[in-house]
Amino acid sequence: MVRLEHEVLQSVLKPARYTGGEWNAVIKDHAAVDCTWALALPDVYEVGMSNLGLAILYEVLNRREDIAAERVYAPWTDMEEEMRKRKMPLFSLETKTEISAFDFVGFSLQYEMIYTNVLNMLDLAGIPLFAKDRGEAMPFVVGGGPCVYNVEPIADFFDFFIVGEGEEAIVEVSDAFMAWKREGRPGGRKGFLQRLLDVPGIYVPSFYEPEYDEEGNYRALRPLVEAAKPVIYKRVIRDMDDAISVEHPVVPYMDIVHNRIMLELFRGCSRGCRFCQAGICYRPARERTEENLRKMARGLVDATGYDEMSLTSLSSADYSCLGRLVDDLMADFRDEKVSFSLPSLRIDSFSIDLAHKMQQVRKSGLTFAPEAGTQRLRDVINKGVTEENLMKACGAAFRQGWKQVKLYFMMGLPTETDEDVIGIAELAKKVVDLYTEIKGKRGCKVTISVACFVPKPYTPFQWFGQLPIEEFQRRQQLLKEHITDRAITFNYHDA
């Protein structure tokens, strides 16, 4: 067990990132269980604690008496410095156990930019980076999450991957592990990995060889043993009402990115925006029933004390009974001052009425995602939104009393021209003018947030390259020059 000295905690910016002991955290005696998991999100505590997928796995595993699951996140640079200085290994939040002492270390791979954090965390834990270098006493390093659909670039660092929704597969993996352990670990590490070839949705890179063409382009994966399947199908939870939901989320002592209850309405998305990996990889759309959601909401408020709940999904406004669900939830929690929010709104008047209803307790700005500045480009990306939709939605919002609108766009989408870039500025200006027209005075604020487009695997845009940095910078500058109204704020990422 790692001793977390007072001195260390006093020298870092946010000690609560490392102390654990939060409400609903599960602490088990490792000697009393047969399988231990360190669930890792390779980002800081605030980001990791806001991830619903990992919270589901934490609860699924800890419901089993014979399994203990604990959490670990990437230490911030101040803590890392202390840890390296003191030769303190990476430890879990619950029992401060060294990560290298767990049976499994499961990394949730949310986006490519955190790959280096995975390696840094393995290094801090004293676990060899390459799977082939790990000895018998080392944990199995597992990957899951959206990046696993295109995992070959980092395959050598992992013992295996869980492809798709992991809550059933992770239990099957744990059961296979406990059986292998009971039988005296036949065949060593390789023996266990061989057993995983029978579990659907598991990819064990060491049983495959990637093939490349003469130019170094990846072509295919060739199985090296008979039991390794040539195609690995993602795991999908068929019936969302049977799926385990988080009933006891861990409540942090510090502010985190999503510091509220997340009520998962449905998985998947029935739309087909061509840039969106989640929309394609999490198909099909599967809803929870309204009755179930109301029951879950009650349980979550009682188990946490939160007074804010986000109705979370890829595109929550598409939930088929959303209007009725919101009415019912608001009635259920009328006396408890629980407020509800939707992470994103559909661009239509129905959504505005709904947002108006939901924000009776608290009122904040509205967020829409037209994604592109011209109709031509919105058609290219299959974003079924017109300028008329946006103007109608913003008009409805202004009439209901909103003054702030945030618009999300992407830059560098395939076929984008300067005209499309300037279109973003023009669209924002039209929204500002609409407010003035409706209210007869100025006074609204429009924030446009423009992300640099990253082509994602498994989307129709996967073979389009990303724009060079200089071209992103040129287009950002071009857009900046065309924003002339002070009511518009332009936010963009470092290219």
Give how many residues touch ligand SF4 by CB under 6 A: 9
- Taking the least distance from each CB to ligand SF4, the nearer of 99 and 269 is 269
Compute the least distance from the CB of residue 283 to ligand SF4, in Å. Answer: 10
- Taking the least distance from each CB to ligand SF4, the nearer of 274 and 357 is 274
- Taking the least distance from each CB to ligand SF4, the nearer of 207 and 282 is 282
- Backbone phi, then psi, for 364, in 5-degree steps? -130, -170
Compute the least distance from the CB of residue 314 to ligand SF4, in Å. Answer: 4
Compute the least distance from the CB of residue 267 to ligand SF4, in Å. Answer: 11
| 452-471: contacts with ligand SF4 (CB under 6 A) | none
Nearest to residue 254, comparing CAs of 73, 116, 108?
A: 73
Compute the least distance from the CB of residue 155 to ligand SF4, in Å. Answer: 26
Q: Site for ligand SF4 (CB under 6 A): which residue of 36, 62, 206, 315?
A: 315
Report which residue's Cβ sits closest to ligand SF4. Answer: 279
Burial 194-216 (b: 16+ CB within 10 A, else e): bbbbebebbbbbbbbeeeeeeee
- Taking the least distance from each CB to ligand SF4, the nearer of 89 and 272 is 272
Q: Site for ligand SF4 (CB under 6 A): which residue of 314, 322, 396, 444?
A: 314
Rounded distance, CA 231 to CA 211, Å?
15
Nearest to residue 35, comparing CAs of 178, 184, 196?
A: 178
Compute the least distance from the CB of residue 385 to ligand SF4, in Å. Answer: 10
Burial 264-282 (b: 16+ CB within 10 A, else e): bbbbbbeeebbbbbbbbbb
| 264-303: contacts with ligand SF4 (CB under 6 A) | 269, 271-273, 276, 278-279
| 58-117: contacts with ligand SF4 (CB under 6 A) | none
Compute the least distance from the CB of residue 145 to ligand SF4, in Å. Answer: 16
- Taking the least distance from each CB to ligand SF4, the nearer of 61 and 314 is 314
Show the 3-state SS of the chain: CCCCCHHHHHHCCCCHHHHCCCECCCCCCHHHCCEEEEEEECCCHHHHCCCHHHHHHHHHHHCCCCEEEEEEECCCHHHHHHHHHHCCCCECCCCCCEHHHCCEEEEECCCHHHHHHHHHHHHHHCCCCCHHHCCCCCCEEEEECHHHHHCHHHHHHCCEEECECCCCHHHHHHHHHHHHHHCCCCCHHHHHHHHHCCCCCEECHHHEEEEECCCCCEEEEEECCCCCCCCCCCECCCCCCCCCCCCCCCECCCCCCCCCEEEECEECCCCCCCCCHHHHHCCCCEECCHHHHHHHHHHHHHHHCCCEEEEECCCHHHCCCHHHHHHHHHHHCHHHCCEEECCCCCCCHHHHHHHHHHCCCCCCCEEEEEECCCHHHHHHCCCCCCHHHHHHHHHHHHHCCCCEEEEEEEECCCCCCHHHHHHHHHHHHHHHHHHHHHHCCCCCEEEEEEEECCCCCCCCCCCCCCCCHHHHHHHHHHHHHHCCCCCEEEEECCC
- Taking the least distance from each CB to ligand SF4, the nearer of 50 and 117 is 50
Compute the least distance from the CB of residue 56 to ligand SF4, in Å. Answer: 19
- Taking the least distance from each CB to ligand SF4, the nearer of 12 and 410 is 410
Per CB under 6 A, 423 contacts ligand SF4:
no
Per CB under 6 A, 170 contacts ligand SF4:
no
Compute the least distance from the CB of residue 269 to ligand SF4, in Å. Answer: 3
CA atoms within 13 A of residue 363's CA, in its CB half-sphere: 12
- Taking the least distance from each CB to ligand SF4, the nearer of 156 and 318 is 318
- Taking the least distance from each CB to ligand SF4, the nearer of 318 and 433 is 318
Compute the least distance from the CB of residue 454 to ligand SF4, in Å. Answer: 13
- Taking the least distance from each CB to ligand SF4, the nearer of 272 and 457 is 272
Compute the least distance from the CB of residue 205 to ligand SF4, in Å. Answer: 29
- Taking the least distance from each CB to ligand SF4, the nearer of 105 and 317 is 317
- Taking the least distance from each CB to ligand SF4, the nearer of 385 and 432 is 385
Compute the least distance from the CB of residue 310 to ligand SF4, in Å. Answer: 15
Compute the least distance from the CB of residue 274 to ligand SF4, in Å. Answer: 9
Q: List contacts with ligand SF4 (CB under 6 A).
A: 269, 271-273, 276, 278-279, 314-315
